[in-house]
Structure 1
Amino acid sequence: MKASNMKFSVVIGLILGIAINVIPSIAHAQESMDKLWGDRVVKLRAENAERGQLFDEGNYAMFVHWGLYSLLGNEVDGKTYYGIGEWIMNPRMAGIPVEKYKQLAGQFNPTNFDAKAIARIAKDAGMKYIVITAKHHDGFAMYHSKACDFNIVDATPWKKDPMKELATACREAGLGFGFYYSHNQDWTFPGGNGGPNTDDQGNPATFDDYFEKKCVPQVNEITTEYGPIELVWFDTPGNMPKEYVQQLVDLVHKNQPRALVSGRAGHGLGDYQTLGDMEIPHENIEGMWESVDTTNDSWAYAWYDEYWKSPKEILERLIACVGRGGTYMLNIGPKGDGSVPQRAVQTLTDAGEWIHRYPQVIYNTDASPWHHTLPWGDVTRKDNTLFLCVFDWPSSGKLYLPNLNTKIQSAKLLIGQDAIPVTTNVERNWVVIDLPPQAPEKLASVIQVTLGSEPIVDPVWALDPNMETEVLAEFAEVEQVKKTRKRWMEKFGEWKAVVHAHGFEKGGNASLEIDVHEPGEYNVSLTYAGTGRLVWKVEIEGGEKIQNQQNSSHNYQTFPIGWVNFPKAGRYTVSAKCIDGDIPSASLKAIHFEPME
Structure 2
Amino acid sequence: MPEQEDLMDNAGHSEQEGVPAHSIRADHDARMAWWREARVGLFIHWGLYSLQGGFWKGEEVQASYAEHLMLRAKIPVQQYEEIASEFRAERFEARQWARLAKQAGLQYLIYTAKHHDGFAMYDSDVSDYNIVQRSPFGRDPLRELAEACREEGVKLCIYYSHSMDWHHPDSQGNTWDFPDNIGAYDDVESWINNEDKRTRYENYLSTLALPQVKELLEKYGDIGLVWFDCGHKITAEQGTAFVEQVREVQPNCLINRRVWLEPYGDYGNSSDNQPHVRVPREDWESIATFNDSWGYKATDHNWKTAEVVLRQMIDVLSLNGNFVINVGPTGDGAFDPKSIELLEQIGAWMQINSDAVYGTRKSPIGKPPWGRCTIKDNTLYLHIFEWPKSGKLVVPGLRNAVLKAYALADTEHRALPVHRLSEDDMVIDVPQELMSLTIPVVAVEFEGACDASSVSLLYTQDYPNKFGAFDADIAGPTLRYDTGKKDRDNLINWRSLDDEASWKFRSNGRGIWKVALEYGADDKNAAGGCYELSVYSKSTGESVARILGQVCSTGDWYAFDTVDIGSFTIPHAGEYLLKLKATAIEGDSLMCLKRIVLEAN
Structure 1 residue 574 corresponds to structure 2 residue 578: yes
What residue number does 1:164 align with?
Answer: 143
- Verify the 8 A CA contact 2:515 2:564 in the aligned structure 1: yes
Taking the TM superposition and a 5 Å limit, the aligned residue runs for 1:183-202 are 183-195=162-174, 197=178
Tell me the CA shift for residue 69 of structure 1.
Answer: 0.9
Structure 1 residue 77 corresponds to structure 2 residue 57: yes
Paired letter, 1:566 = T
Task: Please point out which of 415, 429, 437 is paired with 2:432.
Answer: 437
What residue number does 2:287 align with?
Answer: 292
Structure 1 CA distance for aligned equivalents of residues 504 and 211 of structure 2: 55
Paired letter, 2:445 = T
Deviation track 1:184-227 (CA, whole Å, cap 9, x = no partner) reads: 1011112112246599xxx9981233223221221122111112
Structure 1 CA distance for aligned equivalents of residues 49 and 145 of structure 2: 19
Paired letter, 1:61 = G
What residue number does 1:483 align with?
Answer: 479
Structure 2 CA distance for aligned equivalents of residues 216 and 576 of structure 1: 50
Structure 1 residue 367 corresponds to structure 2 residue 362: yes
What residue number does 2:449 align with?
Answer: 454
Tell me the CA shift for residue 176 of structure 1.
Answer: 0.8
Structure 1 residues 180, 556: closer, same or farther in 2, change over 3 A? Answer: farther
Structure 1 residues 565, 325: closer, same or farther in 2, change over 3 A? Answer: same
Structure 1 residue 60 corresponds to structure 2 residue 60: no
Deviation track 1:81-123 (CA, whole Å, cap 9, x = no partner) reads: 2411111111xx2221222111111122221112111111111
- Verify the 8 A CA contact 2:42 2:325 in the aligned structure 1: yes
Taking the TM superposition and a 5 Å limit, the aligned residue runs for 1:127-276 are 127-195=106-174, 197=178, 206-266=200-260, 268-276=263-271
- Verify the 8 A CA contact 1:401 1:431 in the aligned structure 2: yes
Task: Please point out which of 75, 91, 108 is paired with 1:112.
Answer: 91
Tell me the CA shift for residue 509 of structure 1.
Answer: 4.5
Structure 1 CA distance for aligned equivalents of residues 481 and 430 of structure 2: 39
Secondary structure at the counterpart of residue 482 of structure 2: strand
Structure 1 CA distance for aligned equivalents of residues 46 and 310 of structure 2: 24
> Mean alpha-carbon deviation: is it higher for 560-569 or for 222-231?
560-569
Structure 1 residues 477, 112: closer, same or farther in 2, change over 3 A? Answer: closer
Structure 1 residue 379 corresponds to structure 2 residue 406: no
Secondary structure at the counterpart of residue 122 of structure 2: coil
- Verify the 8 A CA contact 2:160 2:229 in the aligned structure 1: yes
What residue number does 2:11 align with?
Answer: none
What residue number does 1:559 align with?
Answer: 562
Tell me the CA shift for residue 388 of structure 1.
Answer: 0.8
Structure 1 residue 420 corresponds to structure 2 residue 425: no
Tell me the CA shift for residue 284 of structure 1.
Answer: 5.6
Tell me the CA shift for residue 420 of structure 1.
Answer: 2.3
Structure 1 CA distance for aligned equivalents of residues 335 and 321 of structure 2: 27
Tell me the CA shift for residue 246 of structure 1.
Answer: 2.8
Structure 2 CA distance for aligned equivalents of residues 513 and 52 of structure 1: 32
Structure 2 CA distance for aligned equivalents of residues 502 and 340 of structure 1: 42
Deviation track 1:257-305 (CA, whole Å, cap 9, x = no partner) reads: 3311121111544222222222345566643221122121111111111
What residue number does 1:33 align with?
Answer: none
- Work out the percentage of aligned pairs sharing the same amino acid: 30
Structure 2 CA distance for aligned equivalents of residues 552 and 536 of structure 1: 17
- Verify the 8 A CA contact 1:190 1:209 in the aligned structure 2: no
- Verify the 8 A CA contact 1:530 1:582 in the aligned structure 2: no
- Verify the 8 A CA contact 1:65 1:300 in the aligned structure 2: yes
Paired letter, 2:545 = G
Structure 1 CA distance for aligned equivalents of residues 317 and 32 of structure 2: 16
- Verify the 8 A CA contact 1:535 1:550 in the aligned structure 2: no
RMSD: 2.9
Taking the TM superposition and a 5 Å limit, the aligned residue runs for 1:518-537 are 520=511, 522-532=513-523, 534=528, 537=531
Deviation track 1:364-417 (CA, whole Å, cap 9, x = no partner) reads: 1111112x4221111111122111111111111111122333232322233243
Which structure is larger by alpha-carbon Rg, 1 or 2?
Answer: 1
Secondary structure at the counterpart of residue 453 of structure 2: coil
Task: Please point out which of 460, 465, 469 is paired with 1:469.
Answer: 465
Paired letter, 1:325 = N
Secondary structure at the counterpart of residue 514 of structure 1: strand
Secondary structure at the counterpart of residue 487 of structure 1: coil
Structure 2 CA distance for aligned equivalents of residues 409 and 284 of structure 1: 32
Deviation track 1:216-257 (CA, whole Å, cap 9, x = no partner) reads: 221122111112211111111234344433333233223223
Structure 1 residue 86 corresponds to structure 2 residue 67: yes
- TM, length-normalised to structure 2: 0.82
Deviation track 1:468-524 (CA, whole Å, cap 9, x = no partner) reads: 222123443556674323339xxxxx8775462642545864333332347555443
Paired letter, 1:274 = N
Secondary structure at the counterpart of residue 505 of structure 2: strand
- Verify the 8 A CA contact 1:481 1:503 in the aligned structure 2: no
- Verify the 8 A CA contact 2:267 2:281 in the aligned structure 1: no
Structure 2 CA distance for aligned equivalents of residues 416 and 250 of structure 1: 49
Paired letter, 1:84 = Y
- TM, length-normalised to structure 1: 0.83
Paired letter, 1:174 = G
- Verify the 8 A CA contact 2:387 2:435 in the aligned structure 1: no
Structure 1 residues 399, 556: closer, same or farther in 2, change over 3 A? Answer: farther
Taking the TM superposition and a 5 Å limit, the aligned residue runs for 1:22-61 are 51-61=31-41
Structure 1 residues 509, 266: closer, same or farther in 2, change over 3 A? Answer: closer
- Verify the 8 A CA contact 1:393 1:439 in the aligned structure 2: no
